[in-house]
Structure 1
Amino acid sequence: MSFNFATAGRIAFGDGTSEQLLEEVKAFGDRAFVITGNHTDADESPLATLKELPGLEIWRTTGEPSVEGVRAATAAAREANPDVIVALGGGSVIDTAKSVGILLRNDGDLMDYLEVVGRGQKLAARTVPVVALPTTSGTGAEVTANAPIYSPEHKLKASLRSPAMIPAVAIVDPNLTLSCPPAVTASSGLDALTQCIEPFTSGQANAFTDILSQEGLRRTATGLRAAYADGSNRAAREDMAFASLLGGLSLANAKLGAAHGIAAPVGGLTGAPHGNVCAAVLAQCCETNIKAMKERDPENPAIARYDTVGQLLTGNPEATAEDGTAWIRETVAMLGVGGLASLGLTEARLDAATKGAMNASSMKGNPIVLTYEEVHAILTASL
């Protein structure tokens, strides 16, 4: 047994942990640059606790990170010269904060370092420390080492990536997700599900990530439908906050797979929410992977792992991989997430989406190398 594992410098999980925010921030200094969404009230907890800081600045962002959005936030942060960056929001807010933190400590422009569409230069492993507080349960961005950023010029999402981008502190308070609306609960929760399945079936999985991703699947099985049905269900919200954290820990150390490989170009082409794209293709990706492995790599251990996925999601120890994909399809329908066509993908763009997916970094974690025809078929079947 041999593996490396990287995560946040500290993780605080549980109801009320966001009350620690001021203490955590002051450990780094008095100059805090807060990145949050437009609907976050600065007069309410936890941001209200930071008002005593003499160097507090608040930057508001909307939508998923974009090249210009990250550039603007970075320029504002340079003016503020913070000791620490606070990210309060969903995965997009946290990814923006991680990007700003590391760009403040690296010379040059974002495009010097962005993968695929940029120059892809290696970032120096230094950053302004980030304290991340997720308000949705899905991306696990509070413990991951990259940030997907949309380039309108290329109509593609590409990653900024460095081990130094993992936040210094992750504060995961399920109470912060109680107001999350059903549509966002569905989208983010299905992303969390994907981020537990793909690291578990990845060719880079290890004994440690296996423990995390399996528990994440158990928590998603009990929490996802319940949190969608009743957002005030604290037990369900806790399950999903934990599942999201576990998925982030798993993917940061065992990689992802075809669903995320597809989500990057489709999101870039359509602007559809990342979690919705993952949800639309997840079951078909699982089925295609299993079929491809049985035909070309019958000794691949991931074949049996898909049976385990089925058992964990259904709670039936006799369940099969097929039972698992059926559970996924049923859940996606129950949560009201449509196919790729409803998200804006047209048949005319299938070739571009397929080619983009084949080149996506997430594909490197897939348990088997899929062909162009197989990826194209996943997209077609998921319309």
Structure 2
Amino acid sequence: MGDERVHEVVMFELATAGRIVFGDGAIAKLPSIVSSLAGGEARCLFVTGARVERFAHVRQALEGAGIAAVPFAVSGEPTTELAREGTALARRERCSIVVAIGGGSVLDAGKAIAALVTNEGDPLDYLEVIGRGLPLTRAPLPFVAAPTTAGTGSEVTKNAVLADPTQRVKVSLRSDAMLPRVALVDPELTWSVPPAVTASTGLDAITQCLEPFVSSMASPLTDPFCREGMRLGAGALRRAYAKGDDREARRDMALCSVFGGIALANAKLGAVHGFAAPIGGSFESPHGAVCARLLPLVIETNVAALRARAPESPSLARYEEAARIVCGRADAKIEDLIAWGHDIARDLAIPALSTYGMRASDVETIADKAAKASSTKGNPIVLERAELIAILERAL
């Protein structure tokens, strides 16, 4: 099984969705799930991406079961203003449950709305970093998450990432109460995802298995999810990218996403996601592609810092084990893991950060914001400002 006792764990816990329903065709269970949570004549806020018609058959199935489905479309990544709009609509329509079917942005929007409907005030009252960070005092509306991409793991996490354009940053609304009541994971919903989105979301999923594995908060409960998620993701992503209807590859990537979501919700992430928050808030960029570009650079920098300043850190052994899992070789070293990260980013056409408009003049500001990000707190070592800047300069 590898280095099970690398970390000395004093206390740990595991929180995830109340129920996980996984399998091809699982979306057919949605009407019965909604009825069980909110009653047969429920009114649900039906949150989707911009192409609402894509899920007309799902909405019809809900309405055929006597469940009114109030549509709410999410175009792009969710903002504080969009959360306000969705919350107002759900209250106006007297919705008693929120169902979100879509990518990570759609799921995060639905999750945030479900929490804000029952808690008075503005999103900024509850947001981390830029807001007041107040705790939710009332339970959110029941929330059902049905992902259509294999990447963010939002279907099993307790936070919703929102962008605030005025402060050019993405931050989380977070509470244990925000864990979805049901994660409905149907790999068939990911078959139509185009190669570029498959690549960026898939590399995000793998990153979300790797970062919690080397995190300062890794535990015996999250380790198995990380190990299996890395193995599945590394073995399946190229196949899913090349052939979107590869049933086994899509199923493995969906599992990788779920496992990564469970891991990150309980063992934190690291500097890759610490960078991704301010980059995503400042530039219109796919979250997963940003993570993919940064991953091998962050690994290289973390390992150099650990070897120089904390050579006894258990995270070094963790990186060695991750290399063996991802590369699929018993003799793989950390340098092979770094090379794998560069190679797959190249082969899956992951662009440089400058593609999204980021310039050398932005580097210091992004580095300073990344140092304060919630995700960075899970990094296996505190990186110096110069190290953070160097990563970004190389990623341009």
Q: Distance in 1 between matches of 2:131 and 2:223?
A: 34
Which residue is equivalent to 1:26?
Answer: 35
State whether residues 125 and 163 of structure 1, in contact with CA within 8 Å, keep that contact through their aligned partners in structure 2. no
Q: Secondary structure of the equivalent of 1:64? A: coil
Which residue is equivalent to 1:266?
Answer: 279
TM-score (normalizing by structure 2):
0.95
Match of 1:84 among 97, 119, 136: 97
Matches within 5 A, 1:322-337: 322-337=335-350
The amino acid that maps onto 2:197 is V
The amino acid that maps onto 1:39 is R
Provide structure 2 residue ranges, at least 5 long, that are not aligned to the other structure: 1-8
What CA RMSD, in Å, does the superposition of the two structures yield over aligned residues?
1.1
State whether residues 42 and 48 of structure 1, in contact with CA within 8 Å, keep that contact through their aligned partners in structure 2. no
CA 1:125–1:331: 2 relative to 1, 3 Å: farther
Shift in Å at residue 125 of structure 1? Answer: 5.1
The amino acid that maps onto 2:47 is I
The percent identity for this pair of structures is 46
Shift in Å at residue 54 of structure 1? Answer: 4.7
Which residue is equivalent to 1:35?
Answer: 47
Q: Secondary structure of the equivalent of 1:58? A: strand
Q: Deviations over 1:281-339 (max 9, x none)?
A: 11000011011011111111010111111111111011011101111111111110111
How many residue pairs get matched? Answer: 383
Which residue is equivalent to 2:60?
Answer: 48
Shift in Å at residue 43 of structure 1? Answer: 6.1
Q: Distance in 1 between matches of 2:341 and 2:138?
A: 38
CA 1:329–1:130: 2 relative to 1, 3 Å: same
Which residue is equivalent to 2:203?
Answer: 190
State whether residues 37 and 61 of structure 1, in contact with CA within 8 Å, keep that contact through their aligned partners in structure 2. yes
Shift in Å at residue 47 of structure 1? Answer: 2.9
Q: Distance in 1 between matches of 2:202 and 2:162?
A: 21
State whether residues 100 and 106 of structure 2, in contact with CA within 8 Å, keep that contact through their aligned partners in structure 1. yes
The amino acid that maps onto 1:55 is A
Structure 1 runs (4+) deviating above 2 angstroms are 40-48, 52-56
Which residue is equivalent to 1:155?
Answer: 168
Does residue 1:116 correspond to 2:129, yes or no? yes
State whether residues 272 and 344 of structure 1, in contact with CA within 8 Å, keep that contact through their aligned partners in structure 2. no
Which residue is equivalent to 1:17?
Answer: 26
Does residue 1:255 correspond to 2:282, yes or no? no
Provide structure 1 residue ranges, at least 5 long, that are not aligned to the other structure: none
Q: Distance in 2 between matches of 1:331 and 1:128?
A: 40
The amino acid that maps onto 2:367 is T
Q: Distance in 1 between matches of 2:357 and 2:199?
A: 18
Of stretches 111-120 and 157-166 in structure 1, the one that deviates more from structure 2 is 111-120
TM-score (normalizing by structure 1):
0.98
Shift in Å at residue 208 of structure 1? Answer: 1.2
Q: Distance in 1 between matches of 2:252 and 2:106?
A: 22
Q: Deviations over 1:100-135 (max 9, x none)?
A: 011111111111111122222122251001011000
Q: Distance in 1 between matches of 2:164 and 2:247?
A: 37
